[in-house]
Structure 1
C-alpha cells in the first residue's frame, strides 16, 4: 500500500480517551482549536429534522462506461461497529468530552477506576448542558430540537473563512482519538453533519488509509469512508466528486479493481450526473493498472454509444489518458473529438499537454487553428500554446521559448503578459536565469509590463543558481522599465549584493528606498549584517547595528541572533541579551540557539547547557534547541557532553537534527567509535544528509583500514544509486580519493578494496579509481602494485590513452624505475605541447626518484602550472 503524509482526520469533537488509548493534548496544543471547541459546549445535541438535496433518481439511459460491478470483500466494509459503549467506556467518553468542551485542553486523561466513573446520564447532562436524549420525555424532544437548531445556526454555521480552523480541529481530535472513537462521538451527540464536515471526515479516512502499512487497517479506514458516503446519500446529500473522488483515487493508486466497482455502485445509484466523472476514474484505473484490453474495450463501447452526452464521456476519457501512456488510444479518441466543443479549460489544458508529451505537432497546430476559427479568446489559445511547448520532452529551454514564439506567430496571436510570465517562471524553475531576463526584454519591446511577483521570482532564481552578479542587471531593469519594486525586492537584491561581497552596493540599495516611498526593514539590514559576520568582520557587523539606529529601524530576533552568535566574551552576550529583553523582541528558537553557540564559543559549556533549561523555549522547538547544543558541544571538543545530551534526546523518543548528527559524526573519529557512528548513520532518513554522513563514516573506515565495513556501506550506496550510473561512479571515485589522501604505508588495503568492489559488489572500477590508486602507490613506494594496477585498466575495459601513459610515466619516475619510465615515455605521443610540458616538469620533479618520506600523490611535487595543464588534459580525455 502506498503511504503518504496524513493531514486532517475525523470529527469536530473529542471523544473517549480510554477507547483511543491516548492522552489529551499538551499545553502547546492549538489555541484556535481550543477556543473553537469551547464555543460549542452547549450547542451539540440532536440533528435537525430537515434533510437537504434529496436524490432525484435518474432515467435508465445506458452509459458507455462501467461493467457490472462486483462486490468482493463486503465484510471488510463493516469495520465500524454500531454497538453502544458499555457503562465504563461511556464514563470515560463523557469525562473526555467534558474536559474539551469546558476548555480544559491541557488535562492529562488517564483510565480511572470504575468507582470514579461518572454515571452516563449525569455526565452527558453536564457536558452538553441538556439531559441525555434517550431519557427526555417524548413531549419535550421536539421543543428541545428547535432550541438546539437555533443555537446551531448561531454557532455552527461554517463559513469559508472557518474551513482552516475546522481542518485543524479535525486533525487535533483525530490525532488524539482515532476514527472509531470519533464516529462513536457523533452518534452519542447526535450532531448534524454537513457537507464540510463529511468532506473533512472522508478526506481524513483516506489519508489515514494511505499511512497504513497493513492492508487490513487500510480496509478498515475505507469501510468508514464508505459508511460516510452512504450516510450522506441517506440524508439527502448529493454525492459530488469532491467527496468520492479522493476515495476512488486511493483505490486507483492501490490497484484495487473490485473494490473500485463496489464503491462506484454506491455512488452512481440514483446519481446519473456522476456517470461521466465515474467514467473518467474507471479509465484512469485501467490505465494505471496497465490493462490495455479494458482501455480498448471502453473506447469501443464509446464508439458504439450515441447518447447526447457522448462528447462529455469522450472528453473525460481523453482527460484520463493524459496521465498515462496510451498514444494509440489517445489518437483514436482525439480523431473523433471536435476540439471546439470542449468547454472545460482543465480538459483542454490536459489535451494540449498530451500533444506536447507525444510530440504531435501537426495535430496540435490543427487544434490551435480550429480554436481560433471558432472565436476562442486569444488569451486562452496563448495559454494552450504554453502548455503544449513546455510539455515537449527533451527540448532545451531556449528551443521551448523559440517554439513558443513561432507558434504564436503562425497563429497570429500575441502572447499576453500572463503567458510570458508563466514562461519566465518555467525558466526560473530550471534556473535558466539569463533566458528569463531575455524574456523580460522581449516583453518590454512589445510594450508589456512585468509584475513585481515575476521580478522577485527571477531574483530568487539568481540566488539559487549562484548568479549573484545579475543583481546589477536586475537593478537596471527597475530604472529602465519603470518597475516599482517592493520591500521584498530590495531585500533580495541586497542579499545578492552581500553574497558577492559588494557591501557598498548593498548600502546603496538601502539609499534607493526613498525613491519608491519604501522604508528600510530589519531584514534588509540583517542581510548585510549576516554577510559581514560570515566574513568574520565583526566590526562591520556592529557598524550595521549603528546604521539601523540611524535609520530608526528596530532590531528583530534575527538581528540579535546574529549579534549573540558572534559574541567574543560573556560580557557581550549579557549586553546584547539585555538589549533584546528591554526592546520587547520575542525570544525565538534562533535566539536560544545563538545563545548556545555564543556560550560554547566562549568556553562557557555549562552555561550553554543551561540554556535548554529555560522555561521560555516552546515545547515544539525544544528538540531543535537541544540538537544545536549537541552540535555546539561537539564542534568545540566536548564530545562526551554532546553524547550525553544526545542520549537524553533519544530517551525522550525524539530525533536529532540531521545537521547535528553530521556534526557529531565529524568529531567521533577516534578509534573504537565505529558502532556509535553506524548508530548515528541509521538515524538519518533524509537522503542527502545520509550520503554526506555515510562518506564521513567511510573515511573513518578507510583511515582504520576496516575493509568489511567499507564494502557494506558501498553496497548501500550502490542500491541507492542503482539507476544512476554516473552518480554511483562519482561516489565510488571519492572512496579511492580518500585512499590516495591518507598516505598509506602499504597498498594492501587499497588493492583488496579494489578486488572486493569487483567481486562482492559487481562493479568495474572507473579510470579515476585506478588513477587514485596509482597516486597511492607513490606514497606507499609500492612498485609491484603499480604494475598490477596498470593491468587493471585493460581488465576494466579502459584502454590506455596518452593521459594514462603520462600518469604511469610520472609514477615510475617517482618510484625510481628509470628504465620502465623510459619505456613508457616511448609510447606517449608528444605532438601536444601540453603533454610535452608535463613530461619536462615530471623529469625536473622526479629526477632522482621519490624523495624520502614520500608525498601524497603524483602531483604533489609538480608546480601549479603543471597541475593546471594536467587538469586540462583530463577534461579533453573525458
Structure 2
C-alpha cells in the first residue's frame, strides 16, 4: 500500500480540484471549531479574560470573536433561573460592547441583534433602553433598525400605550421612512390585527415600503385571514400600475400564509386573484408555491406546479429542483424519481452534478437498477458528463443487495462509458472482495490508475482482510505510515469492530486501549460492537458504563444504553439500571413523547426476555415512579401485564392491574385479554369468567385469542387436576394400609 501514495501530476491536479470542491466544508468546519474554542474559553475563563488571552496570543480580537463571546453570555443568561447570574452575564455583554468600541470594531446588527432579542424575550425594558442608547451612540446608522426591536419589546410586554403611539407615528409622521418601515415590519409579526389594519389602511405602502417589505404585510394579512383588506390593497396596486411580477408575488405570499389551507385551495385562491387582477403568475411566484408544497412534504403537488410553470414558458432553477430532490430524500419518497426524470426530459431542465447523482441514487434506493442505467443513458444523450459518482451509486446498491456479480459488472459499464473509477469505486470493490487475490488485484489497478488510497479504501482493506479470515493483515493495515493522522482513529475503530465480529474480543480491547492511550476516542459504531459482545459474555459492568460514557452519537448511545439496561436486568442490578434510566430522562426531558417511547422500549425488551426478569421489571416500575417522579405509560403497563401473563404471576398482575386505575388509564380489550390469560394460567377460573364478560366479541382475532387461551390453559388445568387426583388416591391407599 505504500506504493499507492506516490501520485503523478494528474493526481495532484485532481487533489487541487477536490480541495476547491470541499473548501466550503472546510470553511464551515473551521467556523464550528472556532466557535467551540471560544465557548470553551469563555466557560472556563470568562468573557473578559478570553479577550485578554487572545490578545496575549497575538490574535486580534475582531467582530467574529466578540460575537461568539456575546453569544456565550446570552446562552448562560438564558440557561439560568438565577437573576444575579443573568444580570452578571448582561454586564459582561455590556463591557464587551464597550471593548468593541475601544478596539474600533463596528457595532452591527449581527452583534447587537441576538442580545436585544434576549432582552425582549425577558421583558427587560430598562436594560433594553440602556443597550439601545449604547448602540445608537456607537452606530448612529442603526437608529432606524433599532425601531424594529423597540416595537417588538412593546409588543412583548403588551404596552398598549406605546404601541398606539408608534402606530400613530407611522401614520402621521412622513419624515423618517426607514424608522416607520422598521416599526411596521415588527407590527406585522404580531397578532395586533386592529392596529395593523389601521396602519395599512392609512399609509401609502408604495411610498413607504420596498417590495420585500410589502411581502411581509401580505404574509400578515394571510396569517390573520384578512381577505377583504388584502383584496383592496391588491386592487389599489393594480390600478396604480404597480409591477405585475411583484403583485403576483404578493398574491402567493398572502395565500401560502393562510393557516390550515390545503394546497388545492391555495392554488384556487392564487388563480382566482390572478384572474381578477388580470396578471400572470411570475417565475418567482411559481417557485414560491413549489417551495411551500415541499415544506408540507407534498412532492406530488410541487411537481404539478413545476409542470404548470414549464408549460407557461418558465425554466425551473437548479436550486429549486435540487430542493425537491432533497425533500424526497429526507422523507424517503424515492418513488418520485420516475416522474422527476420524465419532467426533466420533457422540458429539458438544466441539471448539475448533484441532481444527476440523486436521480441515479433514488432509482437504486427503490431497487430499480434498470431505471438507474436508463437515467445514465438519457443523461449521456443530453450531453451531461457522466461521473464515477453515478456509477458508484449503482455499484453500492448491488453490493448492499449482496449481488456481487452485478456490482462487479458496473465497473465494465464504467469502462464502456469512458468513465474512470475513483477511490470510492475501489473502496466498494475492495470491501466486497471474497479472496485475498481480488484485494491485491484491485490495489494494483488503483496504483496503476494513479489514485491515492483514501480513508474509505483503508477501511475497506481492514474489512475485506478480516472477512477473508486474515486478521493479521487487517491489523497491519493500520500500521501503514501513509494513513493521514486525522483518519487513523476511524480506521482503527473499524479494526476494533471487525475483531469483535470475528470473535477476537481481547485483541479488540487491546486496540481500544491503544486508542485511549493516544488521546483519542473510539468511534460510536465500534463502541456499540464492544458493548454487544461484552453484554453477551457477561463482561464487567464498569467497563460497559465506561464505554457508554464515551459515546458521542446520541442514537448509538441510546442503542447501547438499552443493551446495558437489559444486561443489568439479567443480572438483577437495579441501581445501575436506574442510573441509566435517569440519564435517559435527563437527555430527553424536553421531549416527553421520545422519553415515553424510550421507556416503553426498555419495558418491552424486559417483557420479551425470560420470565425470571419480571421482578426487576416491576422493581424498575416502582423506582421510576418513586425516584424519577414519572408516571408509567399505558404501553409500559401493557408490557408488564403481558410478562405477568406469560409467567403466570397472578399477584404481580393484580398490582399492575391497579396501576392502570392509579395512572388514569381505562381498561381496554388488550388489557382485559392479558388479565384473562393470567387468571387462566393461575387457575382462577371464577375471576377469569368475570373478566371474560367485559371483553367484546365483535372482533374475530379477539375471539381467536380467547379460544387459544381456553384450549391452552384448560389442557394444563386438566393435567393438573389428574395429578391432584392421583395424589389423593395415593394418600387414601396409604391410610388404608395403616
TM-score by length of 1: 0.67
Deviation at 1:530, TM superposition (A): 0.4
Aligned to 1:148: none
Which position in structure 2 is the counterpart of 1:522?
388
SS of the residue aligned with 1:668? helix
Q: Is the 8 A contact 2:144 2:182 kept in 1?
A: yes
Displacement of 1:546 in angstroms is 2.2
- Distance in 1 between the 2:542 and 2:451 partners? 44
> What's the counterpart of residue 252 of structure 1?
116
Match of 1:572 in 2: 438
Report if aligned partners of 2:369, 2:394 keep a CA contact under 8 Å in 1. Answer: yes
1:275 and 2:148 correspond: no
Residue 659, structure 1, aligned to residue 520, structure 2: no
Q: Deviations over 1:612-634 (max 9, x none)?
A: 33333333333433333333333
Q: Is the 8 A contact 1:206 1:250 kept in 2?
A: no
Match of 2:66 among 205, 215, 239: 205
- Structure 1 residue corresponding to 2:628, chosen from 761, 767, 774: 761
| 1:263-286 deviation line (CA, Å, top 9, x unaligned) | 655654597544212333444456
Query: Match of 1:368?
Result: 234
Shift of 1:653: 4.1
Q: Deviations over 1:194-215 (max 9, x none)?
A: xxx9xx9223321233246788
Match of 1:593 in 2: 459
Change (3 A) 1:694 1:354: farther
Answer whether contact 1:248 1:281 (CA < 8 A) is retained.
no
In the alignment, the residues of structure 2 paired with residue 434 and residue 678 of structure 1 have an alpha-carbon distance, to the nearest angstrom, of: 48
The structural deviation recorded for 1:548 is 1.8
On the 8 A contact 2:570/2:613 being kept in 1, the answer is no
1:461-610 equivalences in 2 (<5 Å): 461-483=327-349, 485=351, 487-610=353-476
1:661-714 residue CA offsets vs partner (Å, 9 max, x unmatched) = 333333331435333333333334554444333323323323333323333333
Partner residue, 1:120: none
- Aligned: 1:739 with 2:600: no
2:664 maps to which of 782, 797, 820 = 797
Is the Cα contact below 8 Å between 2:604 and 2:636 reproduced in 1? yes
2:575 is equivalent to residue 708 of structure 1: yes
Q: Distance in 2 between matches of 1:279 and 1:421?
A: 32
Paired residue for 1:44? none
Alpha-carbon RMSD = 4.0
Shift of 1:245: 1.6
The offset of 1:470, in angstroms, is: 2.5
Does the 8 Å CA contact 1:251/1:257 hold for their aligned counterparts? no
Matched ranges for 1:281-300 at <5 A: 281-284=149-152, 290-293=156-159, 296-297=161-162, 300=165
For residue 534 of structure 1, report the CA deviation from its aligned partner.
0.6
Describe the shift of the 1:252–1:620 C-alpha distance in structure 2 as closer, same or farther (beyond 3 A): farther
Secondary structure of the residue aligned to 2:418 is: coil
**Residues 322 and 308 of structure 1: CA distance in aligned 2, closer, same or farther (over 3 Å):** closer
The whole-number CA distance in structure 1 between the counterparts of 2:303 and 2:250 is 23
**Aligned CA distance change for structure 1 residues 724 and 363 (closer, same or farther; 3 Å):** farther
Relative distance call for 1:459 and 1:745 in structure 2 (3 A) is same
Determine the structure 1 residue equivalent to 2:46. Answer: none
Q: What is the distance in 1 between the residues matched to 2:128 and 2:116?
A: 7
Quick one: which of 460, 464, 468 aligns to 2:326? 460
Structure 2 vs 1, CA of residues 450 and 244 (structure 1 numbering), >3 Å: closer, same or farther? closer
Aligned in 2, Cα 1:610/1:791: closer, same or farther, shift over 3 Å? same
| TM-aligned CA distance change 1:217 to 1:753, over 3 Å | closer
Once the two structures are superposed, residues 801-845 of structure 1 have per-residue CA deviations (whole angstroms, 9 ceiling, x without a partner) of: 334333333444455555544443333222334433443454455
Q: Which moved more, 1:212-221 or 1:469-478?
A: 212-221
Equivalent positions of 1:707-856 (< 5 A) are 707-745=574-612, 747-813=614-680, 817-844=684-711, 847-849=714-716
Q: 1:660 & 1:321 partners in 2: Cα distance?
A: 53
CA distance in 1, matches of 2:634, 2:501: 37
Deviation at 1:336, TM superposition (A): 4.7
**Distance in 1 between the 2:408 and 2:581 partners?**
48
Residue aligning to 1:317: 183
Aligned-pair CA distance for 1:851: 13
- Tell me the CA shift for residue 314 of structure 1: 1.9
- Identify which range, 565-574 or 483-492, moves more after superposition: 483-492
Q: Structure 1 regions of 5+ residues with no counterpart? A: 1-30, 33-160, 188-196, 234-238, 853-878
The alpha-carbon distance between structure 1 residues 761 and 395, as it changes in their structure 2 partners (threshold 3 A), is farther
Instruction: Spell out the pairing of 1:372-387 with structure 2 (5 A cutoff).
Output: 372-387=238-253
Provide, for residues 563-609 of structure 1, a one-character-per-residue CA deviation record: whole Å limited to 9, x for no partner: 12122233322222222122112322222222222233334334334
Describe the SS at the equivalent of 1:730: helix
CA 1:185–1:668 in 2, change beyond 3 Å: closer, same or farther?
Answer: closer
In 1, the alpha carbon distance for the partners of 2:507 and 2:117 equals: 48
Q: Please give the alpha-carbon distance, in whole angstroms, between the structure 1 residues aligned to 2:717 and 2:495.
A: 47
Native 8 Å contact 1:736 1:769 kept in 2:
yes
TM value normalised by structure 2: 0.78
- The residue number in structure 1 matching 2:168 is 303
Change (3 A) 1:204 1:751: closer
For 1:661 and 1:393, the matched residues in 2 are separated by 47
Q: Match of 1:848, SS?
A: helix
Distance 1:657 1:219 in 2: 41
State the number of aligned residues: 667
Match of 1:24 in 2: none
Deviation at 1:420, TM superposition (A): 2.0
Preserved contact between residue 778 and residue 850 of structure 1 (Cα < 8 Å): no
Q: How far off its partner does 1:760 sit?
A: 2.8
Local SS of the residue matching 2:612: coil
* Distance change (3 Å), C-alpha of 1:528 and 1:340: same
Aligned position for 1:83? none
